[in-house]
Every structure is written in structure tokens, then in C-alpha cells.
Structure 1
Amino acid sequence: MIVRRAVVTAGARGRAMGLAAGDSHARSAAAPAVLPLPFHDVASREENDRAFGQFGAQVGILVTVGSLVGTIAGAGIGCIATLPAGCVPGLVTGAGIGGVIGTIVAGGPTLGVSTYQLWETYNAAPGTSIYVDRDE
């Protein structure tokens, strides 16, 4: 329903702008025809809100866990690698590099899967997504 309103509003706005610019209602033969957008029902507002909340939670948790695990592992590896030099330079460098790598390794695939689930919910017909209340 929201998509239909947006398309109708955009069409009315375009006609109004054409009239304000002095264009006539008659179209010239060289003007290309504008094809209408395909209409289809989309998930309800509640389903979209639940899907977006789940998306944010999944990505947030796994990015946080990935960066924490990567920081700890990188600090340990860096400390062991620079043990003769006193461990601190390698610990700091390894922690930074490990945090970035952990964020990418854990957050990247999660972002892809969560984005796909969100997209599928946004394009589902009302009442068909996994976020609909089944007990109503």
C-alpha cells in the first residue's frame, strides 16, 4: 500500500511540474513511453519492524563477539611473537590487527545472511514472513 501511494504521488508530482514548466498535455511522438512500476504486496509494518530489529541484533552481537575474540587472539599471538622484546609492542599491535580481522571474519558473513533475511521479509506478502504472529 505504501509503494502504491509513493508511485501515485510521484506521478502526480511529475505532471504538476510539467504543467508548471509550460508543457502541454499532448506528448510528442519522440517522447519515450514511461512504463508503470509493477505493484505487489509487501510485508506488514510489524513484520518489517521485527525483521529490522532482528537484523540489528544479529549483526551487533556477532561484530562485538568477533572483535573481542580477535582482539584477545591477536594480543596473545603478538605477545608470543615479541616475547624476547618484552611482549608489550606485539601485544598492542596484535590486539589492534586481531580486532579488525575478528570483526571482518565474524561480522561479514553475518551481515550477508542477515541482509538477505531482511530483504526477503521486506519483499514477502503480508502474513507470510517468519516474523508474523501465528497465534492470532
Structure 2
Amino acid sequence: MSKEKKKKLNTNNKESEDSYRHLLKLAIAELNKNNYSAFICSLTSVIDHCKQENLAIEAKFWLALIYEKGLGFGSNEKNQAFNYYEEVFDSNSKFKEKARDHLIMCYSQGIGVKKDVSKAEELYSGKPKKIK
């Protein structure tokens, strides 16, 4: 592949990443306006189509917050919130510690997962053996 084509691909990837980063910011602005449908739609688009894992993981964290509260539109939202928190926790995301805190709450209160105080305590101690 020529240098020119590689440069064009890198430029397109950068533009794509910037577009998804902008969409993520717009989604958070919609959340601040309590416009949950636009928020969910935007984040779902980032999760489904963005090739940049860090942006998709960030979108999953934000979406998990809404699902945990039951503010989405589907069934099994709390299970999906738990699953997203797991993915974020298993990543190197800047939201890893926040995801851990939410997993502790999920385990201790049985949100999206069977209540398991010992798993919550493992996460709290910083020594989880295995999630789920």
C-alpha cells in the first residue's frame, strides 16, 4: 500500500474517532437535559460502530448508568448495566474504578446479578478472584 493511501486511511480513522468523540459529548449533553432517548440512541451508535475501543468502553459506562436506574426502554436493563460495568472494569479505561464501585453496589444489592456480598467485598478489597 502506498504511503499516500496509508496517510488517507489514518486521516479517515482520526476523523472517524473525532466524530464518535463528538457524538459521545452530544450524548452526555442530552443526558444533562434528561433526554434519555437521544442519549441512548447516540451511545448505542458509538458502541455498535466505533472501532476505537476506548470510546466504545466509555459509551458502555455511560449507558450502564442509565440502564442501572431503569431509565432505558428495554427489558433486562439492569442485567445489561451489570454486563457493561464488567466490560469497563476489565478494560484499562479511565472509568475502571467507577465501574468497580458500581459492580460493588450491584453485587451488594442484587442489581442485574444475584446478590453476592462476598463478591462485593472482594471487589471492595481490590482482590476480586473472578467477576461473575
Is the shorter-chain TM-score for this pair beyond 0.5, marking a shared fold? no
Q: Provide the TM-score with structure 2 as the length reference.
A: 0.29
Q: Provide the TM-score with structure 1 as the length reference.
A: 0.28
Higher relative contact order (CA 8 A, sep 6+): 1
Highest CA radius of gyration, 1 or 2? 1
